[in-house]
Chains A and B, each alone.
Chain A
Amino acid sequence: MQKLGDYKLPQFFNYPPYFTLQPVRDTREKQVQLWKEMIVDYCRTQKIFVIGLEDDFPLFSNPVIQRFLSHEAREVFLSALVSDGRAEWLDKGHRKCLILWHRIQDWAEIVLQFVKDNGLEDSVMTVEEIRSGIESRGTELHGVDRTILMRALKLLENKGKLAIFKGTSADDEGVKFSV
C-alpha cells in the first residue's frame, strides 16, 4: 500500500477516475463517501485541523498516477463533511475548512476527562495552558486548534462546568473549572 508519511493510503486513491467528479448518482455517492472517510482519517492521524482549498494539501493530488482534484471536487467533498457535521467552513468564500475529526461534543468530553485526570476540578488554567501546558503532553489536547478548543469550552460553559474569563494578557483567556 502506498504511504503518505506514516499514513496508509486507501487503494481507491490510486484509481484515476476517483479524482474526477462522477456524474452518475450512485457512483458519485460512493466516491464522496470514500473521500470523506479518507480526509477525516488522515486529519485525525496527522492532527490536521484546517484545510485550505487552495493549499497543497497532500490528499488533493496523487503524483504517482498524475491526477489531482479540481477546486470544485475539493469543495464537494469538504461540503459533504460539513453536511455531516464533521467540518465547518471558516469563511463565506469556502476557502478554509475546519475539520472536526472529533466533534465539538467529543472535544468537550476530552477536556472534562483531562480535568479529572489532572485533579483540576476547582482550578484555574489559561486556554493556552490547556492546549500546550505540561499536562497536555501525550493527550489529544496537545496542539489542538484554538478555535476548536474555544468552542468546546463554550459548550462546557453553557453546561455550567466552567467559566471563561479574560486573562491578564490582551489575547489570552482563562478558565475556572467547576466540574
Chain B
Amino acid sequence: MRRRPGIGGLQTAAAARDQYRLLGENVAKLRTDLMKEQLATFRAQLEDFARKHKNDIRKNPAFRSQFHEMCAKVGVDPLASNKGFWAELLGIGDFYYEIGVQIVDICLATRPHNGGLINLQELCNLLRQRRKSDREAVSEDDCLRAISKLKVLGSGFEVISVGKKKLVRSVPTELNKDHNEILELAQAQGFVTVDEVEKQLVWTSGRAIDALDTLLEDGLAMIDDGHRDGKRRYWFPCVVHLSQYEFSLTYVET
C-alpha cells in the first residue's frame, strides 16, 4: 500500500491500525480461549484424580500435602468453601475446620504457660494426642493449612520462623527483630542469661535487659533464679528444648 500524503493518507493509516488491532485482539482471544480450555481440562482431570484417590487424600498426610500443591498450581483451592464440589467430594473442609478449632483450643489452654507462642512441633504433638482415637493422621503441613484458614477468619493466628523452628503465635504481640534473635539464641538450651545475650548478640546491657523484660511482660519468658551460680535465667516455654524439660502438658483438657 503506497503511502499517500494528505488526509486520505491519514485515513488509510488509521484504517490499517484498526485492522492490526482487531487482528491482535483476535489472537489474544484465541490464546485466552485456548488457555481456558486447557485449564478446564486440568480441573476435570484433577476432579477425576480426587475422586479416585479420595481415601488416600483423607488418610495419608504426605499424599494430601502433594495433592494440595497440585491444586494450587491449577488455581484450585479445595478449602475455599465448605460447600461445593471439593468439600463434598473430599469432606476435607470439615477436617481442617475441626483441626482449626482444636488448634485454637490448644493455644488458649497453653497460653498461660507459654505466653501465646507455641512451637509448631509441640502443637502438632498435642493435636495428635487429642485426636488419638481418630483414624485420620495429622501432619505439620495440615496444621499449617488449618492455621492459614484461621488467618483468613482474622483470628490473629500467625506462623513465624525463629532460626530453624516454626512457632505459632496466637496473640497480637508482635515480635521485633531483637526478640526474634533472643528466641533463636534460647533454642540451644531453652533459656538465656543477660550475659549470654550481650556476648553472643553483641548488644549493650540495656538493650538485652529491655528485650528480655518485654518478653517477660508478654508472658513469653519465665525467670529462674534458682541456679547455684546466682545468675538469672530467662526460660522460653515456646522454645522446646528436647530433653528432660520436654512438656506434654498434661493439663491440656482433652
Interface residues, chain A, CB within 8 Å of chain B? 10-12, 14-20, 22-24, 26-27, 29-30, 34, 64-68
Instruction: Supply 9 A–B pairs (Cβ within 8 Å), ascending by A.
Output: A11-B247, A11-B248, A15-B237, A17-B233, A17-B235, A20-B222, A24-B216, A27-B112, A66-B226
Q: A11-B248, A11-B250, A23-B216 are in contact. Are A17 and B224 (CB under 8 A)?
A: yes
**Across the interface, which residues of B come within 8 angstroms of A12, CB to CB?**
113, 247
Instruction: Check if A20 sits within 8 Å of B250, measured CB to CB.
Output: no
Contact indicator A17/B222 (Cβ below 8 Å): yes
Give B249's nearest chain A residue, CB to CB: A11
Check B251 against A22 for contact (C-beta < 8 Å): no
Interface residue ranges of B208-254 to A (CB < 8 Å)? 216-217, 219, 222-228, 233, 235, 237, 244-245, 247-251
CA distance in complex: A166, B17 (Å): 122
Please indicate the chain B residues that have their CB under 8 angstroms from the CB of A27 in the complex.
112, 115, 219, 222
B240 to chain A, nearest CB (A): 11
Q: How far in angstroms is the closest Cβ of chain B from A25?
A: 9
Q: How far is the CA of A11 from the CA of B249 in the complex (A)?
A: 7
User: CB-CB < 8 A to B247: which residues of A?
Assistant: 11-12, 15
Q: Give complex CA distance A20, B191 in Å.
A: 14
Check A29/B112 contact, CB under 8 A, given A16-B233, A23-B216.
Answer: yes
> With the chains together, A18 CA to B249 CA distance in Å?
14
Query: Quick one: which of A18, A20, A24, A66 contacts B228, CB cutoff 8 A?
Result: A66
- Is B224 in contact with A20, judged by CB distance below 8 angstroms? yes
Known contacts A11-B247, A17-B224, A66-B226; is-contact A30 B112 (Cβ 8 Å): yes
How far apart are B252's CB and chain A's nearest CB, in angstroms?
A: 11
Report B198 CB to chain A, min CB distance, Å. Answer: 21
A24 to B212, CA, bound (A): 13
The digit string for B5-21, where 1 denotes a CB below 8 A from any CB of A, is 00000000000000000
Contact check, A22 vs B227: say whether CB atoms are below 8 A apart.
no
Query: Are B251 and A34 within 8 A (Cβ)?
Result: yes
Inter-chain pairs besides A16-B224, A22-B222, 6 sampled, C-beta below 8 Å: A11-B249, A17-B222, A18-B222, A27-B112, A29-B112, A66-B227
A11 to B247, CA, bound (A): 6
Residues in chain B near residue A10, CB distance under 8 A: 250-251
Residue of B nearest to A61 (CB): B226
Interface of chain B residues 112 through 138 with chain A (CB within 8 A): 112-113, 115
Pairwise interchain contact B219-A26, C-beta atoms closer than 8 A? yes
Cα–Cα, bound, A68→B225 (Å): 10
Cβ-defined partner of B223 (8 Å) among A15, A23, A64, A67: A23
A24 touches B244 (CB 8 A): no
